[in-house]
Structure 1
Amino acid sequence: MTTCAPTDTPDDFDIDALREKYAQERAKRLRPEGSKQYVELTDEFAGYYENDPYTPVQPRNPIHEDIDVAVLGGGFGGLLSAAHLKKAGVDDVRIIELGGDFGGVWYWNRYPGIQCDNESYCYIPLLEELNFMPSKKFADGAEIYEHCRNIGKHFGLYDKAIFSTQVRDLRWDDEIHRWRISTNRDDDIRARFVVLASGPFHRPKLPGIPGIQDFKGHAFHSSRWDYDYTGGDTSGNLHKLADKKVAVIGTGATAIQIVPFLARDAGHLYVFQRTPSTVDERNNAPTDPEWVKSLQPGWQKERQRNFHAWTFEGMAPGQPDLVCDFWTELGRNTAARVMALEDPASLTPEQFMAIREEEDYKLMERLRRRIDALVEDPQTAEALKPYYRFLCKRPLSNDEYLPAFNRPNVTLVDVSDSRGVEKVTENGLVAGGVEYEVDCIIYASGFEITTDISRRYSIDAIEGRDGLSLYDYWRDGYKTLHGMTSRGFPNQFFTGFTQVGISANIAANYELQGEHIAYVIAEALSRGAEVVEPTQDAQDAWCRTVKETAVDNSAFDASCTPGYYNNEGGGGGEGLRSHLGEPYGPGFYAFGDLLAGWREKGDMDGLVLR
């Protein structure tokens, strides 16, 4: 076994001075409107969400029917919920999906260079069950999309799937004990059970830049890539941009993948950056066939647990770091420091966090010095340096992103001092008082992850018993039992970050939730129950448990640069809000054990079945 060693990081710097630098950099990026700086994709902006550039919408007759289960969303959350329902013996399952096929984020995101940005062997679900092995450590988007389609085929989910369909309203009908689902295709589907599985990365986020509708050139969001305009495909060759001036707004996970391709093919590329990302080495190695032969049954679950320990739990003493990359470096370096102490067991939590903070500063300084080594222009290099703690933004890796700024046709436009692009004109973008005339604007601005729940679900109305709105009910915080069902919303289940244990791997979250939801639905059907929902006492107890066991990360979040990880710094009167929702403090695996114990008892404790 290859040993994964701690990395060599610098320590010849002043942490107190850097701490002050971090605070200054954060302050100049804060915007008073917080997450409200992003426009809602309705009315004139609806096309950025509802338009499908990949699958023409085919006319069909409205569907009027009664079914057992409707799963809303065809990404990993919906696929895994439906798969577990099938495995639990529930066959009458329809997935309703806005896109033209399964895949969710991997259906919509087909921009050039798209890859998984954490390890494929952990992230992609059901590898063992479908006997599939990714071709490399960070799999291409097309490979993951095809795996999603194979999940659909393997579990027979295509037979009843409804694609190219947007759910508009979801209302409980107490007379027939069903959810009435209306859609943009005039469907009236009456489902005994509904699973909300739209996921956090499905609704594009568009910056509310003044004049955004005035631009006379071409514009699109990166998750609705227009290859008719750019030419090429996910592997590049964007030949139609050779004489075009292109602007990219955003420098997060999407931008660091598309910028190298745009830099290579566009006549000129302007990259508008508010906050730089951490960009480490990619080193995307092909999957070693000898390693594959050595794997034993259960290897993926073991690897996922190992990855979680080295990232979310901070370190995993006595365990090898199986993933061994930029995601686990901080835990690995912290562990080396801790284990070198004379008596590691005597370390207090405060002392541990102090060591971890020091290693965090050292890791970030290593990344900043890497920029100096790769980017030739000192001013550009300085603008690309991230000044914040490591997990304040999503850690990223790419081998071509930073060198792209050495090209004469690439201009970095730093908009941090003005807190973003000032305005859009008919001909381009204004930043720092300068107008940049462009032919095309690409919004690589991510997805709505911490905006209001009504925007994230993309359903106009979700009304439970007596017309109770889920959006009103959850306005001041989630109210659930086990994060997956709420009183007043019978036969309705949720996936995502809703008062559950959170894994470092979102697909593992979906699998755990899908298994539990399938158990409850299958039990309700087998026991002849028409309605299942939590008791008020059980729901109140779970909400107390979540609050009492919560890990308070507010000080860390408040120190971070604004972004979706901390609800844009909490402006607009919304306050800080984690992208992870309201997690169960003891963690993902403790939560899994709790659910397994609950199912093993078999008495459906806390639920009313009638």
Structure 2
Amino acid sequence: MRPSDNDFDAVVIGAGFSGLYMLHRLRDTLGLTARVFEAADDVGGTWYWNRYPGARCDSESYFYSFSDRLSEELLEEWTWTERFAGQPEILGYLQHVAERFDLYRDIRFGTRVVAAEYDETSGRWSVRTDAGERATATYLITAVGCLSTTNLPEFPGRDSFRGDWYHTGLWPHEGVDFTGKRVAVIGTGATGVQAIPEIAQEAEHVYVLQRTPNYDIAGGNRPMTEEDGRAIKDNYREIWQTTRETGFGFPYRTPERTALSVSDDERRQIYEEAWQRGGFRLGTTFNDLLVDEDANETAAEFLRARIRERVRDPEVAELLSPRDHPFFTKRPPLENGYYDTFNRDNVTLVNVRDAPIQEITERGVRTADGEYEVDTLVYATGFDAMTGTLFKIGIRGRDGLDLREKWAKGPTSYLGVTTSGFPNLFMITGPQSPSVLTNMPVAIEQHVDWITDCLRHLRERGADLIEPLPEAERDWVDHHDEVTATTLLPRANSWWVGANIPGKPRSLYPYVGGLDVYRVICDRVAARGYDGFTTGSAGRTTGGGFAGVARATFDELAAEAS
């Protein structure tokens, strides 16, 4: 029993997929007391805020959900209506989970954490909210998501615009009526690709301001049939086992073949079959697309050819065709009618790479080529990913060390879930973990389960403190950077490397070694007594060793694969 209503075993920040599953594990698996603080007025995380037209998941619904680790009964009773679920359905699913497992009672909504400080004397975290409420906990767990702090560029004159403006990540709950409106959409990443076709169906005219075209993959969304649902439910155990054994957390495997090991005709057929099936399967057709530039170019040109087939105006098709970065080195959006939208008379593609945005005016957007007068601005400009929300929390560890200060030159972590100098802090899908390079719910479950086992390990040994050793952290960062360097991902100016935020340190923020490899690494660390961590109780540690298990494990797996 906790000593007061504001003292807990754990405080969790965020009530999306991560926070809900973490709360369930803390409370119902470990029997710990917990409080979840959530800035929104309901559960959902990104699916609470992102309500823009066309918002939907880009992993197929049946594996963009909780697995049998949470509940086999839930898998049986919930049926998805679309192959790629839309935002309302995903939000409804998470609300159902919160109700079914009685999670609402431990969540404080409409409450934003503005400070979290570690007290070395008590060995507890002190958390303060924007309402002045305070709480303490032995463990602080961030479940804030990787894409939860919106990026609104500081265009000159931004506040002078007299019309309505919206950011896709903070969409009005009541929706927006674009009927008869002239609209400028700034940005053609995943949110823009989903929103633009929907807006174009209502608006009088849409100006799409594109700086960098993406390799958009066919989504192939459609209603789920009764036969689909039954086949999935009959095979859920195998489906989830496969997701845990693949690099991207998908229930299908990348074949052991290279793109140039087959003939041009066979390769084209393989790509075409993946394209027709839809989803990210095209990126898993060959095992060298992210490491071999020539192999990658075969997929890139296949996608450019699809654009030329879909878009009638050759000049527009060329503008929509990426040529400055390899395929899959920026997040490839799934499109459902995006390219067809540019065949509409009421849609104009504006190239702001060659004619950059100069300013936002009272009447619209001025580029180097002229002014586009509009009634509404839509910023599809993405997020300050991975670290933005963590910094906003105001996390301070030992000796008052600010996390923002420690990570001023880029994040440093151990396994992407902990960082030295911040005892008992766990970051679900934090930087340098697979996170956004995987199917997120699978990555989330792996992290939450690992944290749960870690806390159980501590309790069984009468300990309540764990912190990574600096040398373990350095080793993990070195390993992360070495794996990154073997891929093509650093070649693109993507939000994966922080390039969308001025002044943000450039590095690959997610771990690209694969969720399957990462899972084995984490399990080996745990099996060896949490190698690389020091453990103990407040004011007293039992020491800890580090055998470089993470890098050794990766080397072993890489050797086996070759």
Please classify the TM superposition score into its range, dividing by the shorter chain length.
Answer: 0.7 to 0.9
Decide which of 509, 513, 517 is 2:443's aligned counterpart: 509
Deviation at 1:553, TM superposition (A): 2.9
Would you say 1:328 and 2:281 are equivalent positions?
yes
What residue is the counterpart of 2:380 in the other structure?
444
The equivalent of 2:130 in structure 1 is 184
CA distance in 1, matches of 2:89, 2:431: 29
TM-score by length of 1: 0.76
Q: Are 1:524 and 2:489 an aligned pair? A: no
In 2: Cα distance, 1:107 partner to 1:246 partner? 24
Residue in 1 that maps onto 2:534: 607
1:251 shift after superposition: 0.7
Query: Which residue does 2:182 correspond to in 1?
Result: 245
CA contact (8 A) 2:410 2:505 kept: no
Q: Deviation at 1:105?
A: 0.8
Taking the aligned partners of 1:438 and 1:113, their CA distance within structure 2 comes to 22
Task: Choose the corresponding residue for 2:418, options 476, 482, 485.
Answer: 485
Name the CA distance, whole Å, in 1 between partners of 2:110 and 2:206.
Answer: 33
Residue 300 of structure 1 aligns with which residue? 240
**Distance change (3 Å), C-alpha of 1:201 and 1:605:** closer
Tell me the CA shift for residue 125 of structure 1.
2.5
Residue 204 of structure 1 corresponds to which residue in structure 2?
A: 150
* 1:193 maps onto 2:139 in alignment: yes
Counterpart position of 1:106: 47
The question of 1:579 aligning with 2:506 is answered: no
Do the aligned partners of residues 138 and 487 (structure 1) sit closer, same or farther apart at CA in structure 2, a change above 3 Å counting?
Answer: same
Return closer, same or farther for 1:146/1:411 CA change in 2, 3 Å cut-off. same
Structure 1 partner of 2:339: 402
Measure the CA separation in 2 of the matches of 1:353 and 1:268.
38
| 1:516-555 equivalence runs, <5 A | 516-525=450-459, 527-529=461-463, 531-534=464-467, 536=469, 539-548=470-479, 550-553=482-485
Native 8 Å contact 1:584 1:591 kept in 2: no
Q: Which amino acid aligns with 1:505?
A: N
SS in 2 for 1:466: helix
Alignment counterpart, residue 118 of structure 1, candidates 59, 71, 74: 59
Deviation at 1:526, TM superposition (A): 5.1
Mapping for residues 554-593 of structure 1, pairs under 5 Å: 556-560=488-492, 562-568=493-499, 572=503, 576-580=506-510, 583=511, 585=513, 587-593=514-520
**Offset at 1:445?**
0.9
AA partner of residue 305 (structure 1)? E
2:398 matches 1:470 = no
Q: Structure 1 pair 413/354, CA: closer, same or farther in 2 (3 Å)? A: closer
**1:95-244 residue pairs with structure 2 within 5 A?**
95-126=36-67, 129=72, 130-131=74-75, 132-226=78-172, 228=174, 230=176, 238=177, 241-244=178-181
What secondary structure does 2:448 align onto? helix
CA contact (8 A) 1:557 1:576 kept: no
Kept in 1: contact 2:79–2:229 (CA 8 A) = no
For residues 322 and 92 of structure 1, the distance between their equivalents in structure 2, rounded to whole angstroms, comes to 47
Q: Distance in 2 between matches of 1:95 and 1:174?
A: 23
Code of the aligned partner of 1:589: D
> By how many angstroms is 1:152 displaced?
2.0
- 2:62–2:232 CA contact under 8 A, matched in 1: no
- 1:460-493 CA-to-partner distances (Å, cap 9, x unmatched) read 5211222122222233444444332333322221
Alpha-carbon offset, residue 228 of structure 1 = 4.8
Instruction: Give 1:29's aligned residue.
Output: none
Q: CA deviation at 1:518?
A: 1.8
Q: Deviations over 1:375-430 (max 9, x none)?
A: 22232222222223111221223232112222222221111113x42210111101
Q: For the residues of structure 1 that align with 2:61 and 2:274, how far apart are their CA atoms?
A: 13
Detail structure 1 runs of 4+ shifted over 6 Å in the superposition.
309-313, 320-323
Distance 2:60 2:466 in 1: 37
Matched with 2:221 is 284
Equivalent residues of 2:217, 2:278 under 8 A apart: no
Given that 1:488 and 1:533 are in contact with CA atoms closer than 8 Å, whether structure 2 keeps it comes out as: no
1:44 aligned residue: none
- Give the structure 1 partner of residue 547 of structure 2: none
Greater CA drift, 303-312 or 268-277: 303-312
Structure showing greater relative contact order (alpha-carbon pairs closer than 8 Å, 6 or more residues apart): 1
Secondary structure of the corresponding residue to residue 240 of structure 2: helix
**Helix, strand or coil at the partner of 1:485:** coil
1:392 to 299, 318, 329: 329
State TM-score, norm by structure 2.
0.82
Contact 1:310 1:316 in 2 (8 A): no
Match of 2:554 in 1: none
Structure 1 stretch displaced more, 364-373 or 266-275 = 364-373
CA contact (8 A) 2:12 2:37 kept: yes
Q: 1:4 corresponds to which residue?
A: none
Classify the secondary structure of the residue corresponding to 2:382.
coil
Q: CA deviation at 1:261?
A: 1.4
* Cα gap change, 1:360 to 1:431, in 2 (>3 Å): same
Report the equivalent of 1:14: none
Q: Is the 8 A contact 2:146 2:385 kept in 1?
A: yes
Q: Which amino acid aligns with 1:300?
A: W
8 Å Cα contact 1:75/1:105 also seen in 2:
yes
d(CA) in 2 for partners of 1:355 and 1:597?
A: 26
Q: Deviations over 1:428-449 (max 9, x none)?
A: 1011331111111111111111
Letter in 1 for 2:14: G
| Inter-CA distance 152–356: structure 2 relative to 1 (3 Å threshold) | same
Between the aligned partners of 2:390 and 2:313, the Cα distance in structure 1 is 44
Aligned to 2:262: none
Structure 1: any 5+ residue segments left out of the alignment? 1-62, 231-237, 336-351
Matched-pair contact (CA < 8 Å) for 2:113–2:130: yes
Deviation by residue 1:135-156 (Cα, 9 ceiling, x = unmatched)? 3321111121122223323333
Aligned partners of 2:168, 2:112: CA distance in 1, in Å? 20
How far does the alpha carbon of each residue in 1:529-583 deviate from its partner, in whole angstroms, 9 at most, with x for none? Answer: 3x412263xx4134314414631437734532x22133328975x5631131xx3
How far does residue 194 in structure 1 lie from its aligned partner after superposition? 0.8
State how far apart, in whole Å, the 2-side matches of 1:461 and 1:421 are: 33
Letter of the 1:544 counterpart: D
2:560 is matched with none
CA distance in 2, matches of 1:377, 1:297: 47
Q: Tell me the residue number matched to 1:494.
A: 427
Q: Work out the CA distance in 1 between the residues paired with 2:330 and 2:412.
A: 28
Q: For residue 527 of structure 1, report the CA deviation from its aligned partner.
A: 4.5
CA–CA distance in structure 2, aligned partners of residues 224 and 486 of structure 1:
30
Cα distance in 2 for partners of 1:300, 1:460 equals: 34
Q: Runs of 5+ in structure 2 lacking a partner?
A: 259-269, 538-562
